Amino acid sequence: MAGPTGRGSSLGAALNDLLRSQVTPRHRLSSYTAKHWHAQLSQLTSTHRGHQALVDAGLEVTTKTLVNWLSDSEYNVRRGYRDLIHTAYENVAIVPADPIPDHIKGGQYEISGTVKTGQDERERGTREAAPLRIDGSRGDWNEIEELWLAGELTDEELEDRFVDDIIVADIGEGTDGWEFPGDSYSIEVR
């Protein structure tokens, strides 16, 4: 039975595609696009989560003050308060990433695409050559997961970290390191 699969124009893109098919990445809620403090405050005060974000940001004003602010978008709100409203708005608009699941970190990977080590460059995952098989459980996923949770795991960074922390940990450096110079990759986890 086939497991989760990712595809992309680079190894990093295929890995990111695989991760995104399994867990929710850190992202911004599309409904939070207001720029003006008044619109942000209106949206925040319409939900319990928004109210809590205001408190967490340090905005502590009376209900009467909030009503005054909400009733007049031209109300003269101090810059410090506007900054706290903006901070709360930004904090509530970001949805944190799910952690990378154990079945991904401990999975058996099959990588198809162009693989190069030293002078040996070949297309893996074809009739002529088996896919590159990697045991993910032997790797160190800490940096990958930190970048994932922070929303900073680019395709390039993921590829570099996966090579250094997962592939090398499982099968070694290769002749002159591992390269993935192709333009089409598929990666499956079993």
pLDDT at 1: 58
- One-character DSSP codes across 48-90: HHHHHHHHHHT----HHHHHHHHH-TT----HHHHHHHHHHHH
Q: Quick check: 61 and 128 in contact, CB under 8 A?
A: no
Which ranges of the chain would DSSP assign to H, the alpha helix? 11-22, 37-44, 48-57, 63-71, 79-93, 102-105, 142-150, 155-161, 168-171
Residues in CB range of 57: below 8 A, 6 or more apart: 84, 85, 87, 88, 91
Which of the four pLDDT bands, split at 50, 70 and 90, describes residue 129? very high
- Average pLDDT on 20-30 reads 92
Residue 162: which of 181, 182, 135 has the closest Cα?
135
Which of the four pLDDT bands, split at 50, 70 and 90, describes residue 157? very high
Which residue pairs, CB below 8 angstroms and at least 24 apart, start in 60-66?
66/41
- Average pLDDT on 92-98 reads 92
Domain ranges of the chain: 5-25+98-189, 27-95
Does the predicted model carry a pTM greater than 0.95? no
Dihedral over alpha carbons 66, 72, 74, 75 (to 10 degrees): -40
- Average pLDDT on 40-59 reads 93
3 in helix, strand or coil?
Answer: coil
- Average pLDDT on 14-29 reads 94
Q: What is the pLDDT of residues 174-189, one digit of tens each?
A: 878 999 999 999 999 9
Residue 48 has a CB neighbour count (10 Å cut-off) of 7
Distance CA 25, CA 51 (A): 25
- Average pLDDT on 76-101 reads 93
Q: What is the pLDDT of residues 101-121, one digit of tens each?
A: 999 999 999 999 999 999 999
Share of the chain above pLDDT 70, in %: 99
